[in-house]
Amino acid sequence: MPVAERVPLRPVTMWLLLQSLLLLASCLPSAAAFPKGCYPSEEEGLKTFRCSNARLTEVPRDIPNDTNKLFLDSNRIPFLPRDAFRDLPLLLELDLSHNAIAGVESGAFRGLAEHLHSLDLSSNRLVSVSKDAFSNLKAKVNLSNNPWLCDCRLQELIRTVDLAAGSSGGIVCHSSAQEEHVGKAFLQVIADTDFCNVYKKTTDIAMLVTMFGWFAMVISYLVYYVRQNQEDARRHLEYLKSLPSKQRRSEESSTISTVV
Protein backbone atom coordinates (compact mmCIF):
# COMPACT_ATOMS: atom_id res chain seq x y z
CA MET A 1 0.00 0.00 0.00
CA PRO A 2 1.38 3.46 -0.86
CA VAL A 3 2.65 5.61 2.02
CA ALA A 4 0.17 8.36 1.21
CA GLU A 5 -2.71 6.00 1.92
CA ARG A 6 -1.34 4.99 5.37
CA VAL A 7 -0.83 8.51 6.77
CA PRO A 8 -4.50 9.28 7.64
CA LEU A 9 -4.55 6.28 9.97
CA ARG A 10 -2.20 7.93 12.51
CA PRO A 11 -4.70 10.47 13.92
CA VAL A 12 -7.25 7.67 14.33
CA THR A 13 -4.75 5.52 16.21
CA MET A 14 -3.79 8.41 18.50
CA TRP A 15 -7.44 9.18 19.17
CA LEU A 16 -8.17 5.54 20.10
CA LEU A 17 -5.14 5.47 22.42
CA LEU A 18 -6.23 8.69 24.11
CA GLN A 19 -9.74 7.33 24.63
CA SER A 20 -8.33 4.16 26.17
CA LEU A 21 -6.18 6.14 28.60
CA LEU A 22 -9.11 8.31 29.66
CA LEU A 23 -11.28 5.25 30.21
CA LEU A 24 -8.56 3.61 32.29
CA ALA A 25 -8.07 6.75 34.35
CA SER A 26 -11.78 6.99 35.08
CA CYS A 27 -11.78 3.43 36.41
CA LEU A 28 -8.93 4.08 38.85
CA PRO A 29 -9.32 6.11 42.10
CA SER A 30 -7.82 9.52 41.82
CA ALA A 31 -4.88 10.08 44.14
CA ALA A 32 -5.71 13.77 44.20
CA ALA A 33 -9.02 12.95 45.93
CA PHE A 34 -7.22 11.54 48.98
CA PRO A 35 -5.97 13.72 51.86
CA LYS A 36 -2.26 14.44 51.87
CA GLY A 37 -0.38 11.52 53.39
CA CYS A 38 -3.12 8.97 52.64
CA TYR A 39 -2.86 6.23 50.06
CA PRO A 40 -4.59 2.96 49.13
CA SER A 41 -2.78 -0.37 48.96
CA GLU A 42 -3.38 -4.09 49.18
CA GLU A 43 -2.08 -6.14 52.10
CA GLU A 44 -2.54 -9.89 52.39
CA GLY A 45 -5.25 -9.75 49.78
CA LEU A 46 -7.18 -7.06 51.69
CA LYS A 47 -7.82 -3.55 50.42
CA THR A 48 -6.06 -1.19 52.78
CA PHE A 49 -6.20 2.56 53.22
CA ARG A 50 -3.37 4.16 55.21
CA CYS A 51 -3.42 7.64 56.73
CA SER A 52 -0.82 7.16 59.46
CA ASN A 53 1.00 10.33 60.56
CA ALA A 54 -0.98 12.42 58.08
CA ARG A 55 -1.75 15.24 60.56
CA LEU A 56 -5.48 14.65 60.20
CA THR A 57 -7.88 16.51 62.50
CA GLU A 58 -10.97 14.55 61.44
CA VAL A 59 -11.93 11.26 59.83
CA PRO A 60 -11.42 11.60 56.03
CA ARG A 61 -14.53 11.53 53.87
CA ASP A 62 -13.05 10.18 50.64
CA ILE A 63 -12.10 6.71 51.86
CA PRO A 64 -12.88 4.00 49.24
CA ASN A 65 -16.03 2.21 50.37
CA ASP A 66 -14.54 -1.22 49.63
CA THR A 67 -11.75 -0.71 52.20
CA ASN A 68 -11.08 -3.67 54.48
CA LYS A 69 -8.33 -2.20 56.69
CA LEU A 70 -8.21 1.46 57.70
CA PHE A 71 -5.22 3.01 59.48
CA LEU A 72 -5.85 6.46 60.98
CA ASP A 73 -3.26 6.11 63.73
CA SER A 74 -0.84 8.80 64.94
CA ASN A 75 -2.93 11.79 63.88
CA ARG A 76 -4.70 14.65 65.71
CA ILE A 77 -8.32 13.50 65.54
CA PRO A 78 -10.12 14.81 68.69
CA PHE A 79 -13.64 13.44 68.26
CA LEU A 80 -15.60 10.67 66.52
CA PRO A 81 -19.04 11.94 65.40
CA ARG A 82 -22.13 9.90 64.64
CA ASP A 83 -21.90 7.82 61.43
CA ALA A 84 -18.19 8.56 61.03
CA PHE A 85 -17.67 5.22 59.22
CA ARG A 86 -21.12 4.46 57.83
CA ASP A 87 -19.88 4.34 54.20
CA LEU A 88 -17.40 1.53 54.95
CA PRO A 89 -19.58 -1.60 55.14
CA LEU A 90 -16.69 -3.99 54.41
CA LEU A 91 -14.31 -2.68 57.06
CA LEU A 92 -12.59 -5.43 59.07
CA GLU A 93 -9.89 -3.53 60.95
CA LEU A 94 -9.88 0.05 62.22
CA ASP A 95 -6.82 1.59 63.88
CA LEU A 96 -7.43 4.92 65.66
CA SER A 97 -4.58 4.65 68.14
CA HIS A 98 -2.28 7.54 69.12
CA ASN A 99 -4.73 10.34 68.35
CA ALA A 100 -6.29 13.00 70.60
CA ILE A 101 -9.75 11.39 70.77
CA ALA A 102 -11.54 12.60 73.89
CA GLY A 103 -15.14 11.93 72.81
CA VAL A 104 -17.02 9.21 70.96
CA GLU A 105 -20.60 10.00 70.02
CA SER A 106 -23.24 7.29 70.17
CA GLY A 107 -23.56 5.79 66.69
CA ALA A 108 -19.97 6.62 65.68
CA PHE A 109 -19.40 2.98 64.68
CA ARG A 110 -22.87 2.40 63.29
CA GLY A 111 -22.81 0.18 60.23
CA LEU A 112 -19.67 -1.70 61.30
CA ALA A 113 -21.27 -4.29 63.56
CA GLU A 114 -21.47 -7.04 60.93
CA HIS A 115 -17.86 -7.18 59.71
CA LEU A 116 -15.52 -5.22 61.99
CA HIS A 117 -13.41 -7.54 64.13
CA SER A 118 -10.64 -5.21 65.37
CA LEU A 119 -10.90 -1.68 66.80
CA ASP A 120 -7.88 0.06 68.32
CA LEU A 121 -8.56 3.16 70.44
CA SER A 122 -5.44 2.91 72.57
CA SER A 123 -3.27 5.91 73.49
CA ASN A 124 -5.94 8.58 73.16
CA ARG A 125 -7.55 10.99 75.65
CA LEU A 126 -10.66 9.03 76.59
CA VAL A 127 -11.88 9.76 80.12
CA SER A 128 -15.47 8.54 79.96
CA VAL A 129 -17.49 6.98 77.12
CA SER A 130 -21.08 5.77 77.09
CA LYS A 131 -21.58 2.06 76.48
CA ASP A 132 -24.06 3.04 73.75
CA ALA A 133 -21.13 4.18 71.59
CA PHE A 134 -20.19 0.52 71.13
CA SER A 135 -23.74 -0.82 70.82
CA ASN A 136 -23.95 -4.13 68.88
CA LEU A 137 -20.22 -3.99 68.08
CA LYS A 138 -18.63 -7.45 68.03
CA ALA A 139 -15.05 -6.33 67.39
CA LYS A 140 -12.13 -6.89 69.73
CA VAL A 141 -11.54 -3.44 71.26
CA ASN A 142 -8.30 -2.00 72.63
CA LEU A 143 -8.98 0.76 75.19
CA SER A 144 -5.58 0.80 76.90
CA ASN A 145 -3.43 3.86 77.70
CA ASN A 146 -6.26 6.37 78.12
CA PRO A 147 -6.79 8.69 81.14
CA TRP A 148 -9.87 6.82 82.35
CA LEU A 149 -12.16 7.98 85.15
CA CYS A 150 -12.95 4.81 87.09
CA ASP A 151 -16.66 4.87 87.87
CA CYS A 152 -19.92 3.08 87.10
CA ARG A 153 -19.92 4.34 83.50
CA LEU A 154 -16.56 2.73 82.75
CA GLN A 155 -17.66 -0.45 84.49
CA GLU A 156 -20.74 -0.67 82.25
CA LEU A 157 -18.58 0.01 79.18
CA ILE A 158 -16.08 -2.74 80.04
CA ARG A 159 -18.95 -5.19 80.49
CA THR A 160 -20.33 -4.25 77.07
CA VAL A 161 -17.24 -4.49 74.84
CA ASP A 162 -15.06 -7.48 74.00
CA LEU A 163 -11.56 -6.41 75.03
CA ALA A 164 -8.62 -7.26 72.77
CA ALA A 165 -6.32 -9.93 74.16
CA GLY A 166 -3.64 -8.51 76.43
CA SER A 167 -5.12 -5.00 76.52
CA SER A 168 -7.07 -5.16 79.80
CA GLY A 169 -4.00 -4.45 81.94
CA GLY A 170 -3.54 -1.12 80.14
CA ILE A 171 -6.93 0.19 81.29
CA VAL A 172 -5.74 2.08 84.36
CA CYS A 173 -7.57 4.45 86.71
CA HIS A 174 -6.25 7.94 86.01
CA SER A 175 -8.85 9.40 88.38
CA SER A 176 -11.49 8.03 90.75
CA ALA A 177 -13.77 9.08 93.60
CA GLN A 178 -11.63 6.82 95.80
CA GLU A 179 -8.03 8.04 95.83
CA GLU A 180 -6.68 4.55 96.55
CA HIS A 181 -7.85 3.36 93.10
CA VAL A 182 -5.72 5.85 91.13
CA GLY A 183 -2.89 4.16 89.25
CA LYS A 184 -4.40 0.68 89.50
CA ALA A 185 -5.66 -1.51 86.65
CA PHE A 186 -9.43 -1.14 86.42
CA LEU A 187 -10.12 -4.89 86.27
CA GLN A 188 -8.12 -5.27 89.47
CA VAL A 189 -10.16 -2.55 91.15
CA ILE A 190 -13.60 -3.91 90.18
CA ALA A 191 -12.62 -7.31 91.52
CA ASP A 192 -13.19 -5.77 94.98
CA THR A 193 -15.39 -2.74 94.22
CA ASP A 194 -18.72 -2.56 92.42
CA PHE A 195 -18.90 1.07 91.29
CA CYS A 196 -22.48 0.77 90.10
CA ASN A 197 -23.62 -0.79 93.38
CA VAL A 198 -21.88 1.96 95.35
CA TYR A 199 -23.65 4.55 93.18
CA LYS A 200 -27.01 2.84 93.80
CA LYS A 201 -26.41 2.76 97.55
CA THR A 202 -25.47 6.44 97.54
CA THR A 203 -28.64 7.27 95.61
CA ASP A 204 -30.79 5.20 97.99
CA ILE A 205 -29.23 6.91 101.02
CA ALA A 206 -29.87 10.33 99.49
CA MET A 207 -33.52 9.41 98.89
CA LEU A 208 -33.89 8.15 102.46
CA VAL A 209 -32.35 11.32 103.87
CA THR A 210 -34.70 13.44 101.74
CA MET A 211 -37.76 11.43 102.82
CA PHE A 212 -36.70 11.62 106.46
CA GLY A 213 -36.30 15.38 106.13
CA TRP A 214 -39.84 15.80 104.76
CA PHE A 215 -41.23 13.44 107.41
CA ALA A 216 -39.49 15.43 110.17
CA MET A 217 -40.95 18.67 108.79
CA VAL A 218 -44.49 17.23 108.80
CA ILE A 219 -44.13 15.89 112.35
CA SER A 220 -42.72 19.22 113.51
CA TYR A 221 -45.68 21.08 111.99
CA LEU A 222 -48.20 18.73 113.62
CA VAL A 223 -46.53 19.09 117.01
CA TYR A 224 -46.52 22.87 116.61
CA TYR A 225 -50.18 22.84 115.54
CA VAL A 226 -51.30 20.71 118.50
CA ARG A 227 -49.32 22.77 120.99
CA GLN A 228 -50.70 25.98 119.57
CA ASN A 229 -54.29 24.71 119.92
CA GLN A 230 -53.58 23.53 123.44
CA GLU A 231 -52.25 26.97 124.30
CA ASP A 232 -55.33 28.66 122.82
CA ALA A 233 -57.63 26.30 124.74
CA ARG A 234 -55.75 26.94 127.98
CA ARG A 235 -56.01 30.69 127.52
CA HIS A 236 -59.73 30.42 126.80
CA LEU A 237 -60.30 28.38 129.96
CA GLU A 238 -58.37 30.89 132.03
CA TYR A 239 -60.46 33.66 130.54
CA LEU A 240 -63.67 31.83 131.45
CA LYS A 241 -62.45 31.24 134.98
CA SER A 242 -61.68 34.94 135.38
CA LEU A 243 -65.27 35.96 134.62
CA PRO A 244 -67.98 36.34 137.38
CA SER A 245 -70.00 33.17 137.90
CA LYS A 246 -73.23 34.52 136.32
CA GLN A 247 -71.47 35.95 133.32
CA ARG A 248 -69.45 32.74 132.98
CA ARG A 249 -72.64 30.66 132.99
CA SER A 250 -74.17 33.04 130.46
CA GLU A 251 -71.08 32.75 128.27
CA GLU A 252 -71.16 28.97 128.58
CA SER A 253 -74.91 28.92 127.76
CA SER A 254 -74.44 31.12 124.74
CA THR A 255 -71.56 28.92 123.64
CA ILE A 256 -73.71 25.79 124.02
CA SER A 257 -76.66 27.38 122.16
CA THR A 258 -74.32 28.49 119.42
CA VAL A 259 -73.00 24.95 119.10
CA VAL A 260 -76.58 23.57 119.02
Question: What average pLDDT does range 224-228 have in this prediction?
Answer: 68
Per-residue pLDDT band at 216 (split at 50, 70, 90) = low
Per-residue pLDDT band at 229 (split at 50, 70, 90) = confident
C-alpha to C-alpha distance for 35 and 51, rounded to whole angstroms: 8
Structural domain spans, the chain: 34-193, 194-232
Q: pLDDT tens across 105-136, in order?
A: 999 999 998 899 999 999 999 999 999 999 88
Per-residue pLDDT band at 144 (split at 50, 70, 90) = very high
Nearest to 127 by CA among 151, 160, 106: 151
C-alpha to C-alpha distance for 182 and 165, rounded to whole angstroms: 23
Contacts of residue 2, Cβ cutoff 8 Å, sequence gap at least 6: none
Q: pLDDT tens across 157-185, in order?
A: 999 999 999 999 999 999 998 999 999 99
C-alpha to C-alpha distance for 126 and 120, rounded to whole angstroms: 13
Does the domain at 34-193 match CATH 3.80.10.10? Answer given as yes
What's the predicted TM-score (pTM) here? 0.66
Q: Exposed, middle or buried, 226 (CB in 10 Å: 0-12/13-18/19+)?
A: exposed
Reported as type and span, the H/E element at residue 209 is helix 195-242
Q: Exposed, middle or buried, 70 (CB in 10 Å: 0-12/13-18/19+)?
A: buried
How many Å separate Cα 139 from the centre of its chain? 17
